[in-house]
Amino acid sequence: MRALHCITWAGYLPALAKALFTAHGYGAFLTHSILDRYYKPELTREEAVELLKKCLQEYQKQFILNLPSFTVQVIDNNGVHDMEQICVSNL
């Protein structure tokens, strides 16, 4: 039996929608345009990390709170995996 996976977005109203990509909170205002432009369904893991870095660069430029690093987790068919932290100084 094939497992079906999907990303859903839950709004503050009782609404649920399927999405190709999503972001939450203030970061969504800053990164949805980047995700809309660069996302493609066949992204490799490496390409996805590069896309995440683009989003984090924009976040660091425009958001008042500048965090020094970000923890990244990947969810795939084999479970949840921790990746290396992304340090802002390396972007």
Residue 47: give its domain's CATH number.
3.60.20.10
Considering the domain boundaries, does residue 47 fall inside one?
yes
Residue 1 in domain: no
Would residue 81 count as lying in a domain?
A: yes
Would residue 76 count as lying in a domain?
Answer: yes
In a domain? residue 33: yes
Distance CA 77, CA 60 (A): 31
Task: Grade residue 3 by pLDDT with cuts at 50, 70 and 90.
Answer: low
pLDDT for 66: 82
Q: Where are the alpha helices (DSSP H) in 7-90?
A: 26-38, 45-62
pLDDT tens string 19-73: 888 888 888 899 999 999 999 989 999 999 999 999 999 999 998 888 899 999 9
The set of residues, in sequence order, having a beta carbon less than 8 Å from that of 17 and lying 6+ positions away, is 8, 9, 11
Domain count, the chain: 1
Residue 13, in any domain of the structure: yes
Domain span holding position 42: 7-87
Write out the two tokens for 70.
């970000």
The verdict on residue 2 lying in a domain is: no
